[in-house]
Amino acid sequence: MAAARTLVAPRLAAASTFASLHCLRPLLPSRLAPSPRAALHGSAPRPGPRVALVLSGCGVYDGTELHEASAVLVHLSRGGAEVQIFAPDVPQMHVIDHTKGQPSESESRNVLTESARIARGKITDLAQLSAANHDAAIFPGGFGAAKNLSTFAVDGKDCKVNRDVERVLKEFHTAGKPIGPPPATAPWASQLGMAL
């Protein structure tokens, strides 16, 4: 045991010195600051980033593209991120029968309810999302972004953006927090003054 302490002591001392450097604290959020014990083992648990995933329904032609949303969730999970899923509580522009690729005239659906399919029920109204509580926001693809998060599918460059989507994008942009995909690629970026 004494031999182990002798081997570990220099690493603990170095980690304690590193953790106490005040000039580095602004670069390391308090919840990510290294602890002396973390120096002992490379896989010491550290809280991951808090990421908001914003969905636009369920289905590539009238909502979020399922494969893209799933891939994002897998990669965030593997990276240790804490993901919270959001969607606006609004009616879908229309419902597409994905077997035919045609609108289903007799149906109407809610974006939040449809997005809950991907989230397995664990979803929050987009009105509750705040950049202060998250480190990044991701908007997976699918035609729902152009149909349910904005009116781009109908109005093109003169589109209107859902007010909660606009608020969230502006909050994250102003805070300098990552937004994926980059806001400059979103159809409504120029309307929000976010082209990079």
Q: Domains of the chain (ranges plus CATH)?
A: 50-192 (3.40.50.880)
Token pair belonging to 93? 């522009």
**At 194, which amino acid appears?**
M
Q: Which residue has the higher pLDDT, 48 or 132?
A: 132
Tens digits of residue pLDDT in 9-30: 444 444 444 344 343 344 334 4
pLDDT at 196: 38
d(CA 2, CA 8): 10
For residues 52 and 134, the answer to whether their CB atoms sit within 8 Å is yes
182: pLDDT confidence band, cut at 50, 70 and 90?
Answer: low
151: pLDDT confidence band, cut at 50, 70 and 90?
Answer: very high
37 Cα distance to chain centroid: 30
Token pair belonging to 41? 């083992």
Which pTM value belongs to this model? 0.71
pLDDT at 35: 47
| Rounded mean pLDDT, 108-126 | 93
pLDDT at 183: 47
d(CA 186, CA 160): 13
Strand partners, 138: 53, 180
pLDDT at 52: 97
Can you give the C-alpha Rg of the chain in angstroms? 22
**At 45, which amino acid appears?**
P
Q: What is the mean pLDDT of the chain?
A: 77
pLDDT at 60: 82
100: pLDDT confidence band, cut at 50, 70 and 90?
Answer: confident
Q: Is 142 helix (H, G, I), strand (E, B) or coil?
A: coil
Tens digits of residue pLDDT in 29-49: 444 444 454 444 455 556 789
Statement: residue 132 has pLDDT above 60: yes
